[in-house]
């Protein structure tokens, strides 16, 4: 074989590897996003109650938490390739399980399978890419995984929108039917078909990923640790020249020998500097990535922009713009990560995030400091009853005058903060919203049914969720009724630009580099299990922030929440700028040797 033919062959295999890994990222994004479009129709046709629906939504997170905890151990035992295949197989099995289900138990099982698949993908694919790709390609490979993940979220939203339009068409056509029973039957059938079809669409990428993994080689580093040096060399040669493969194999051998024999012939302790420091840095990076508030911002961006002063339609446009920008900037990160390096992008990204979050916090502080608390006016309005109390209040021009004692000369907004025991609720209304509903506060709207996730975390005494049992007999307590002028549209656009800047810096820095930090920093001996633990910490921080977001915003305002996120990101910046080593262009063995050096 000529050298040109050999290089061409290496290129084709790298494209295949990146394509399959990208499909894994796509499945991860679909795992997270697919339920949003299907849930309204599932709720309308399945006959499931609120608690069962909450379990259906949360089952993916629970499955992901459990499988990510054991993904490293499983990949050590069975190999990275076969756990990737297993994750794809579980996803493929989950689709018909969900789509053909006729009851709660089967549907819940299918969603758990999807969560287990997502947890395995989140650990094993970055691990596999780090161990298989040459040092010059690792950043691109992980960047493509992240970009496809964001694309999966967008595609899931588009699929949901497509079927929503189909259902709307059926509803419009059914409205012309004289037989109302027939019309209702057609609408119900359309909704039932919609949520099942949304899940069916995800079957094809799952099949392609599952079959594609069979074309890949096993991780050369996993093979070498199993004493299969020749097979490891053959695996290296599929993505490297023979000379490069031989050099990397020698590095593996040297690192392995160093790990197994210390100065006194003793095996390295897992508490030694070479293991503890990279593990701690990786955990800090993953925890701080979630502590930027990215998930809460993406989930509540419409609410945030509406509170900042933008009307509903413009706020929804901002939501779409942020998701599109996330995809575009992830492509930019893929182009830069192997040229500029991880340390540079994480430092730049975290610095930009601090500026954007702090700016948004200052803007909200300026808007929120002028609010007045009218709790003393509202307290007598709380109806005392056997349910612990309730409140119904219409905040329009007349309602605003009732609270403040004077007519509103400009659009005003009110934020009601209330609780039943540990469960806090927040509702905001504006006088200039022509379709705003009254503020309705009842126990059933505040105290949520217990969830699979809550029960799991309580079982390990790490629960950020409130326990419904603690609110069973608690009375309604309205703690704040904050009224103030609606910020003008200029203020809203300034906040929107801050959020757009935030998502751009996040995509360029943490969005891509967090997966690299997770997979590159961990030494070979602890890589798989260390990644599992770090990812579990990541998910716990994300869940905790989601649990405290609304109560914090209600009690202290958006300014406090944004400033808290900015403070966490300062820790991120310090870690990236002063403690994170640059791993660009280095083999995994060279990175491991960096941490094994004495101070």
Question: Beta strands 391-393 and 412-420: pairing type?
Answer: unpaired
Question: What would the pLDDT profile of 479-506 be if each residue is shown by its tens digit?
Answer: 888 898 888 889 989 999 999 999 999 9
Look at residue 459 and tell me whether its pLDDT is greater than 60: no
Q: What is the pLDDT of residue 549?
A: 79
Phi, psi angle pair for 431, to nearest 5°: -70, -20
- pLDDT confidence band for 178 (50 / 70 / 90): low
- Residue entry with tokens 């508030």: 293
Residue 477 pLDDT > 80, yes or no?
A: yes
DSSP helix/strand/coil, 216: coil
Q: Which of 85-120 are b and which e, b meaning 16 or more Cβ less than 10 Å from the residue's Cβ?
A: bbbbbbbbbbbebbbebeebeebbebbbbbbbbbbb
Q: Kindly report, residue by residue over 397-455, the tens digit of the pLDDT.
A: 888 888 988 888 888 888 888 888 877 777 888 887 766 678 888 887 777 665 555 55
Non-local CB neighbours of 155 within 8 Å, separated by 6+ positions: 26, 29, 30, 33
Length, in residues, of the chain? 599
Rounded to two decimals, the pTM is 0.74
Long-range CB pairs of 164-170 (<8 Å, 24+ gap) are: 164/37, 164/194, 166/190, 166/194, 167/41, 167/191, 167/194
How confident is the model over 258-279, as a mean pLDDT?
A: 64
The answer to whether the beta carbons of residues 491 and 309 sit under 8 Å apart is: yes
- Cβ pair 316, 304 in contact under 8 A: no
Confidence of residue 331 (pLDDT cuts 50, 70, 90): confident
Distance, in Å, from the CA atom of 583 to the CA atom of 61, rounded to the nearest integer, reads 31
- Residue 301, Cβ neighbours under 10 Å: how many? 21
**And the tokens for 511?**
């969005």
- Superfamily of segment(s) 1-216: MFS general substrate transporter like domains (1.20.1250.20)
Tokens of 476: 């309604």
- Lowest-confidence segment of 111-115, 203-207, 234-238, 471-475 by average pLDDT: 471-475
Measured distance CA(96)–CA(115) in Å, rounded: 15
What digits encode the pLDDT tens for the residues 8-24? 566 788 888 889 988 99
pLDDT in tens, 139-176: 788 788 888 888 887 888 788 878 888 888 888 887 77
C-alpha span between 427 and 417 (Å, rounded): 7
25-74, pLDDT tens digit by residue? 888 888 777 877 787 788 778 777 666 776 787 778 778 878 888 888 89
How is residue 469 annotated by DSSP?
G
For the chain, percent of residues with pLDDT exceeding 90: 19
The gap from C-alpha 403 to its chain's centroid, in whole angstroms, comes to 40
Handedness of CA 294, 296, 299, 303 (dihedral sign): negative
Q: Strand pairing of 372-373 and 412-420? A: unpaired
Q: Please determine, for residue 252, whether its predicted confidence score (pLDDT) is greater than 70.
A: yes
């Amino acid at each position: 074989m000529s050298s040109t033919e050999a290089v061409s062959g290496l290129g084709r295999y790298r494209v295949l590897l990146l394509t399959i890994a990208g499909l894994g990222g796509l499945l991860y994004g679909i795992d997270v996003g697919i339920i949003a479009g299907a849930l309204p129709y599932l709720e309308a046709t399945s006959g499931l109650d609120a608690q069962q629906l909450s379990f259906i939504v949360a089952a993916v997170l629970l499955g992901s938490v459990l499988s990510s905890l054991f993904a490293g151990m499983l990949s050590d035992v069975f190999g990275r390739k076969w756990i990737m295949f297993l994750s794809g197989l579980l996803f493929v099995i989950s689709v018909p399980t969900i789509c053909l289900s006729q009851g709660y138990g089967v549907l819940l099982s299918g969603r758990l399978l999807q969560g287990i698949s997502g947890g395995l993908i989140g650990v094993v694919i970055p691990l596999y890419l780090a161990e298989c790709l040459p040092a010059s390609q690792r950043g691109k490979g992980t960047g493509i995984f992240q970009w496809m993940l964001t694309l999966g979220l967008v595609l899931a939203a588009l699929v949901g929108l497509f079927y929503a339009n189909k259902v709307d068409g059926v509803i419009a056509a059914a409205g012309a039917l004289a037989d109302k029973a027939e019309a209702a039957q057609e609408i119900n059938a359309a909704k039932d078909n919609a949520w099942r079809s949304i899940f069916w669409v995800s079957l094809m990428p799952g099949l392609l990923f599952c079959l594609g993994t069979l074309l890949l080689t096993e991780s050369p580093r996993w093979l070498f640790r199993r004493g299969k040096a020749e097979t490891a060399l053959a695996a290296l040669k599929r993505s490297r020249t023979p000379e490069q493969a031989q050099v990397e194999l020698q590095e593996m051998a040297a690192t392995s020998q160093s790990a197994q024999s210390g100065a006194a012939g003793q095996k390295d302790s897992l508490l030694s500097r070479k293991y503890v420091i990279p593990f701690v840095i990786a955990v800090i990076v993953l925890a701080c990535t979630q502590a930027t508030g990215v998930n809460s911002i993406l989930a509540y961006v419409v609410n945030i922009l509406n509170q900042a002063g933008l009307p509903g339609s413009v706020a929804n446009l901002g939501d779409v713009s942020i998701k599109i920008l996330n995809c575009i900037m992830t492509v930019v990160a893929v182009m830069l990560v192997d040229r500029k390096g991880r340390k540079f992008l994480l430092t730049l990204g975290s610095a930009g995030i601090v500026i954007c979050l702090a700016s948004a916090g200052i803007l909200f502080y300026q808007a929120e400091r002028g609010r007045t608390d009218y709790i003393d006016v509202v307290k007598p309005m709380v109806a005392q009853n056997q349910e612990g109390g309730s409140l119904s209040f219409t905040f329009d021009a007349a309602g605003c005058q009732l609270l403040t004692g004077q007519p509103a000369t400009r659009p005003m907004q009110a934020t009601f903060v209330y609780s039943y025991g540990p469960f806090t609720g927040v509702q905001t209304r504006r006088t200039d919203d022509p379709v705003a509903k009254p503020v309705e506060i009842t126990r059933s709207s505040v105290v949520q049914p217990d969830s699979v996730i809550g029960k799991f975390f309580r079982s390990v005494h790490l629960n950020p969720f409130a326990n419904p049992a603690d609110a069973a007999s608690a009375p309604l307590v309205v703690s704040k009724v904050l009224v103030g002028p609606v910020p003008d549209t200029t203020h809203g656009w300034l906040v929107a630009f801050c959020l757009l800047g935030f998502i751009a810096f996040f995509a360029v820095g943490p969005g891509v580099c967090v997966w690299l930090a997770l997979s590159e920093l961990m030494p070979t001996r602890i890589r798989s299990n260390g990644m599992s633990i770090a990812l579990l910490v990541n998910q716990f921080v994300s869940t905790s922030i989601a649990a405290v977001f609304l109560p914090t915003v209600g009690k202290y305002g958006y300014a406090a929440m944004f400033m808290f996120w900015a403070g966490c990101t300062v820790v991120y910046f310090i870690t990236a700028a002063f403690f994170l080593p640059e791993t660009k262009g280095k083999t995994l063995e060279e990175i491991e040797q960096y941490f094994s050096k004495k101070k």
